Structure 1
């Protein structure tokens, strides 16, 4: 959290300054209450009215400052959250594909949404609340000192007691929470045994035992939660008594000082409000500080996203030979592959070389490994045995960005982003308008299409248009025309083949492929 506050230090300091300015004005308004009461007692109507106007002006100023402070605070909050999301996204981008796919998409969404929302509420907003209430407490203490040092000393002592007592009670409260946690574990253990033992209870015609087990677990939860609530209530009473007692002590001292002729009678209104600000604020700060510290675990969690990518590519040799500037060949040497946890071997001792200036069609029944082979070709998957060579170089030693510059994989599932059609084709790449219009014409893409209402065939046309300039690349087409009618497929495919040198294609519609153009490769 410190790193982000430091990055936006100017905005954080401005928001803090505005919060503290409000505290000063509110405390000053509270001190004016003493004058107000004195003028009322002395029946000085003019001064009474002027003081009322001053108090109103002070509070009105705090409303204006609050408006500005809310804007600054929300701006810096959103800027920090944007930076956090950017860092998370950078770490996600840095993951290898296998690392990324080892977790469900929801896992990464929780980082970007749930965790950042927690940081906003429990971290950033809590920080500014601490600043606000710390200001209230600090300036109220200063005001009490201005009235009389005895009030200040008494307030300091009482604040110390208020801070220490909750810490003394911490173990008492923790035992209550521990009891609830243990009861939850027992409840789950008991009910889980009943639910998993359903067939056993059913076989012996004693399903009513399931209800009894759940009731037993519920009673454990009931006793633990009631006990914990009583503990919380006791601590609440203790802290409440200290809070109210502290305020009354300040009032008592104020009264004593008045009887001694050291303070006016009206001072009791001011010290009452100042005491409330001091003790309520300290109570809130203590609670929020623990809340702020809880966000540390979230930032520790973010550390799990640090990519472990480690390339061993000899870039000096690559630069000298220019072996990876365009596609030449893709060789599978004695490749074995099976998916984790599966007993079925998808590829067994598969060897073949795909050469430039050829069109290939992969044949085989469903599940034979055609799509798997394409994913192996792009290093999305790694074989258990054997080697895959791109232009004669082990693909494991080549950075993924270089692989993706030479091999373009068009998957079965098309992702359409909630942006314009042009964006969905360019994907952030710098593309001149002439090339963009050219590919839209080739794939018959209409400018009036809306990303949210594309048919399956229209989505596939957009996915193919993303190839843009496929020269010198290996194009992998995985059922890329399955939702496009046969006549249009033939036209689009012919246009595509006129632009590319090398294609490996998977298709279950034999009619869409000219056998004179494609070499058939059987995958068994």
Structure 2
């Protein structure tokens, strides 16, 4: 918590102003009971009306000063707290941007979203309260005790008896509540995960009629969160009744013993009224402190979760300084082995091949053979366990990640589009692309026809995740986005799977001329997609089972021939 609060240093002048204003407000509140006592003892009792008007006017002025100070302090404390939230959120986002996919897999997207939203909101709320109460509560507590003792020292013994009871109950509730708040955040993570999966996977859920089962799953996650939240609130619910009971009993005791002292002439009526006011202020200072104790445990849990993200070191750091352009358009794998964290077996073992400028290198293999894993290593989404990968002759670990990725046009297996227009999505690959370049890229990607049929053409809006487009349309726009980048290395990770055979053939033909000065790495499931490649790499269980042309592999490689026979007839193969 303290680690995150250090970010408030940039708001030090605002915080000092808030503390000053809160001090003024607290002193005004402490001064009012004394003025009220004077009105009663010197004005009402003696029948001095001008004195009542004079002190009454002074009370109005003091009240106005306290109110103005309170409003301004609230404004500035909110300003500082919201600014802190914004700064932490930006820092978390910027830090997460440096993560490899390994860290995303470890923490989980749902948990990262909860930490960046709900947890930071908890920090903001507690900072607002701290700025208001961290000065106010001690001043009201100490000032109230001093003023109460000054009115009647003997009657103050009642406060000495009741305060330990209040403080003890607060500490007891604090001890019980802290572990429960930790559980609340974990249950909130779980609910967020289930909701996210249900919303993003709604098509699959409906296709398999899984709505009843998913409702049960959500109901369970929701109930778990509800149960622990109720448990927390049950613990916290004890606080206010205990406080009010102690406060009311204290007031009864003061009136009882104060009445006796007034009857004996040891105390005046105004002083008793002021004494009651000061005792109430002391009690409310403890109530404010207890409110802090309620919020701090939850905020501390949130702060711990945020710090866990900020303290996470990326699996690899961007320490490269060489430029990745010694040899334009080359890709080399040299004895590359890669294992996912915690996996018993490597996903890839001893992969070696070279892809040159102007060549098409295709990768084919069964499901789970390591095709997508292999292409994810090239943009350095994951770090190789051993061996080396060179792009344009430079080891990707020796060049900045941004430099390596600037040489790559990557089309992922699952087409991902963003909210915005079609033109904006294509410019994602090259922010400086002209309209002519965008149209050329869509023409090659076989996307021009369906774009022109849309009402607003290239300015047509794409909904979140491209939900208003078909799978084939999304793939073609993803390909156009890579083409407009004009990279040295194109990576197509099974990017033609949603295309019909006719569009697939036309697209591959159009790509030949566009990519003749670049290297193309093509991951595919269909033999028809890789048949014309200069080099086909056959993967099986993370190892290279064969390298060659289509004809060579048909004759010499059993794995490739088996794949071909599963898709083509003997006559087509011949």
Q: Same fold (TM over 0.5)?
A: yes
Cα deviation for residue 476 of structure 1 reads 0.6
Equivalent residue of 2:406, what SS? helix
Q: 1:169 to 1:347 in 2, by over 3 A?
A: closer
Within a 5 Å distance, the mapping from 1:186-335 to structure 2 comes to 243-244=247-248, 246-247=250-251, 264-285=268-289, 288-289=292-293, 291-292=295-296, 295-296=299-300, 298-305=302-309, 306=311, 307-309=313-315, 315=321, 318=322, 323-324=324-325, 327-335=328-336
User: What is residue 501 of structure 1 aligned with on the other side?
Assistant: 518
User: What is residue 84 of structure 1 aligned with on the other side?
Assistant: 88
Does residue 414 of structure 2 align to residue 413 of structure 1? yes
Q: Deviations over 1:59-84 (max 9, x none)?
A: 56655544433332222111111111
- Larger mean Cα displacement after TM superposition, 498-507 or 160-169: 160-169
User: What is residue 439 of structure 1 aligned with on the other side?
Assistant: 438
Cα deviation for residue 276 of structure 1 reads 0.5
- Larger mean Cα displacement after TM superposition, 105-114 or 241-250: 241-250
Within a 5 Å distance, the mapping from 1:109-508 to structure 2 comes to 109-141=113-145, 143-144=147-148, 148=150, 150-151=152-153, 155=156, 164-165=164-165, 243-244=247-248, 246-247=250-251, 264-285=268-289, 288-289=292-293, 291-292=295-296, 295-296=299-300, 298-305=302-309, 306=311, 307-309=313-315, 315=321, 318=322, 323-324=324-325, 327-336=328-337, 347=348, 349-382=350-383, 386-418=387-419, 424-426=425-427, 431-432=431-432, 435=434, 438-439=437-438, 442-443=441-442, 444=448, 446-452=458-464, 453-455=467-469, 456-467=471-482, 470-483=485-498, 490=506, 494=510, 498=514, 501-508=518-525
Contact 2:324–2:399 (8 Å) recurs in 1? no
- Structure 1: distance between partners of 2:101 and 2:410: 14
Cα deviation for residue 477 of structure 1 reads 1.2
Q: Deviations over 1:436-483 (max 9, x none)?
A: 663256324621223335313444344334437534521211133444
Contact 1:442–1:492 (8 Å) recurs in 2? no
Q: 1:127 to 1:171 in 2, by over 3 A?
A: closer
Cα deviation for residue 107 of structure 1 reads 2.4
- Structure 1: distance between partners of 2:400 and 2:50: 82
User: What is residue 205 of structure 1 aligned with on the other side?
Assistant: none
Cα deviation for residue 412 of structure 1 reads 1.8
User: What is residue 23 of structure 2 aligned with on the other side?
Assistant: 20
RMSD value over aligned CA atoms?
Answer: 4.7
- Structure 1: distance between partners of 2:56 and 2:122: 42
Tell me the matched-pair count. 466
Cα deviation for residue 424 of structure 1 reads 4.2
Within a 5 Å distance, the mapping from 1:21-40 to structure 2 comes to 21-38=24-41, 39-40=43-44
Q: Deviations over 1:28-64 (max 9, x none)?
A: 4433433454544455666656766665565566555
Contact 2:409–2:486 (8 Å) recurs in 1? no
Contact 1:334–1:385 (8 Å) recurs in 2? yes
Q: 1:457 to 1:20 in 2, by over 3 A?
A: farther
- Larger mean Cα displacement after TM superposition, 255-264 or 15-24: 255-264
- Larger mean Cα displacement after TM superposition, 128-137 or 404-413: 128-137
Does residue 124 of structure 2 align to residue 108 of structure 1? no
- Structure 1: distance between partners of 2:10 and 2:60: 38
Equivalent residue of 2:521, what SS? strand
Contact 2:103–2:315 (8 Å) recurs in 1? no
- Structure 2: distance between partners of 1:281 and 1:259: 31
Does residue 10 of structure 2 align to residue 7 of structure 1? yes
Q: 1:294 to 1:267 in 2, by over 3 A?
A: same
Where structure 2 has 5 or more consecutive residues not aligned to the other structure, the ranges are 181-226, 443-447, 452-457, 541-574
- Structure 2: distance between partners of 1:68 and 1:169: 33
User: What is residue 198 of structure 1 aligned with on the other side?
Assistant: none
Equivalent residue of 2:354, what SS? strand
Equivalent residue of 2:482, what SS? coil
Equivalent residue of 1:136, what SS? helix
Cα deviation for residue 116 of structure 1 reads 1.5
User: What is residue 552 of structure 2 aligned with on the other side?
Assistant: none
1:522 corresponds, among 521, 538, 541, to: 538
Within a 5 Å distance, the mapping from 1:40-119 to structure 2 comes to 40-42=44-46, 48=52, 55=59, 59=63, 62-119=66-123
Cα deviation for residue 105 of structure 1 reads 0.9
Q: 1:347 to 1:264 in 2, by over 3 A?
A: closer
- Structure 2: distance between partners of 1:312 and 1:420: 33
Cα deviation for residue 498 of structure 1 reads 1.7
Equivalent residue of 1:467, what SS? helix
